[in-house]
Structure 1
Amino acid sequence: MPGTARAAAPWASECRPALPPAAAELQQRIWQGLAADQLWDVHCHLLGSGDSGSGCYLHPSLTSGFDVIERVRRRVILNAACVDPDGASLDEAYVRRLRELADGFPAGARWLLFAFEQAHDAAGAAQREHTTVHVPDRHAAAVAAALPQRFGWVASIHPYRPDANVALQRARREGAVAVKWLPSSMNIDPRELRSLAFAEAAAALGLPLIVHCGEEKAVPGARRDDLVNPLHVRALLERGARVIVAHCASLGHAADLDRRSAPEVPAFDLFARLMDERAFEGRLFGDISAVFQRNRDPAVWRGLLERCQGGWQGRLLHGSDYPLPGLKWLTSLPRLRAAGLLAEADEAPLADLREHNPLLFDLALKRCLRLGGTRLGDEVFATRRHFAAPA
């Protein structure tokens, strides 16, 4: 249960409640130079089964005894959020734990909670059978409205829906500050005419698009892996959209569509190419959620920090990808230390902090990372300025 310590498998979150006394010094370092009221975590997931009437949905394969891999996926993700998969209400337990973790931060810090759209076919009809996870806009809006000092929300609207523009207008009125797409899971081609029209409408409303690029592991959905190429967002940018590329496209490879032979290259390299196009300065950004997980190439870690010397600092945004920071095996502190990015003295305090508050751990880790004299600057964490006030 949330807030209860438990012995578990080595990969499992301990879910310890209070912070250890040894965390005090680390806490001071976290907040040095950073105003809490400017810290908005721009990548925070909601999950639910719909047991509270939220409208949330988990694909039956995540609970079926016949699909072992998907069932394990569900238990692992819920463990990261310290939610008992067999408890009375998954919806309520998930939000309760998130609130508990938020209480470990100074007043003013906020999290942008993601709605998550269903997969849709080419005609714009929802495909529940190809939807791994669904979190309706109304649930994200309701959770945020119940504790606005801690939470804002991000809509998720499929551009192929016949009512996409109506839903976009409604989301803006109800306080959404951005729109989230995961193209491979939702079956969204960012280059498709309906996607481009939606991007123009979102830009007119001041809403950035948070678009997942690079390989997707956690939410397979429609399994359209061809749709997460970073170069696809160029079409959105050319229509005037502001785009935040989730995870800085830091995982996997994609076809280099700028070359006739279209060779497979690291997706991060394609993202970096777009970042270097001067026409997109001020409209193309990257969130750093999940970038420093163990399944990323250390060359990506170093490449991102090196580019902080060359003007990326103001275009990178802090995000946690919660609940994934609760999976302690997913971020390897020894591997980061071996890559020369983490001081040995920071490893033990960070590991201890992770057992108590994975959100604080995620922030602290990123504040501790160094490549020579370069670190992620304070502006990476002062993300509030990137989002317009709700109309």
Structure 2
Amino acid sequence: MALIVQKYGGTSVGSADRITNVARKVKTFRDRGDDIVVVVSAMSGETNRLTDLAKSIMPEPDVREMDVLLSTGEQVTIALLSMALQQLGCEARSYTGAQVNILTDSAHSKARILGIDEERVREDLGAGRVVVVAGFQGMDEEGNITTLGRGGSDTTAVALAAALTADECQIYTDVDGVYTTDPRVVSGARRLERVTFEEMLEMASQGSKVLQIRAVEFAGKYNVPLRVLSSFQEGPGTLITYEEDGMEEPLISGIAFNRDEAKLTIQGVPDQPGIASSILGPIGEANIEVDMIVQNVSADGSMTDFTFTVHRNDYQNALDMLRKTANEVGAREVAGDNRIAKISLVGVGMRSHAGIASTMFAALAKESINIRMISTSEIKISVVIDEKYLELGVRALHNAFKLDQEPVASTEA
């Protein structure tokens, strides 16, 4: 018997029939003796519907009231799923985030979980019930309803699994695991049996949409085994865990990519202490997240060009701010490009293998794809290219590293 936390996303609970199918799946685990906690999202499209409704009344809705409104989406799902389980003869009880005391900070629409009081959940599990919890939401110290941001149900599930010391946290979605890259771009993309927390965190942060970044961070911090599975077909999915001795370490585990990138450059800036702070300080104060940064110094060392990337939604705001900064610091010119994309190779095998970067660059050069920016970490290499070459670049790299083939086991002693 195991204690399992399962999370079902909006597509998985998108209709009454799908909710009934989820109930049947949950019941099979309960029938074999497992203790089950289920975390659910709002039905697909419901969050967007509620947002549009709010904006039809108030173009820029109050964030506190938006949290109150959006949290109702999950409340509908937990009640319906509990009813479906009861109809199948499986005792179940539903709870909102506030009812199970998921305590968060007060940052409406992007709150962070501070703690969970799991006592009520344990009582129900001890009584043989399935516990159904609303994802995406919690409550701050003043009793205000808060939400965790898009994809926050993943974080709810992992946090509950950590609090309950669950044997596994299963994330059910519309894909049957984590792939070497998006199968819609590369038909030969291969499902991975397992990846490390570190690899999954890099892939999520570089554009993979399978799991929310905060959920992976939480799972890694509290060593919660994660498994990504399909709601619509049977299969082992992909296990996300720590590296273990004897674990296969492929050179590259996957290729992540992100179309939502924009690049800004401020040219001819005096090369002196504090200039980077002068440029990026206002950007950070405006809550605009900066990704890649490249600084080039002129031959005589007196001037520098400073380039960085932001999310495409922040492009115009960041560009306007950079132009203002350019006047203040005496820069020569400001340029921007919001038609770029980022491709990232990710793999723990990079730690012990040389030549990955050269293979990557050669594969892109063969397709006449120019690299605009490069960034590296211990297990990742990212490049920025023109957006129009994104899919071609992903396919070229997938072929260059033979990711459609199972990794060959090491023969070393």
- Structure 2 length-normalised TM: 0.25
In terms of fraction of residues, the more strand-rich structure is 2
Q: Which has the higher contact order (CA 8 A, sep 6+)?
A: 1
Structure with max Cα Rg: 2
In terms of fraction of residues, the more helix-rich structure is 1
- Structure 1 length-normalised TM: 0.26
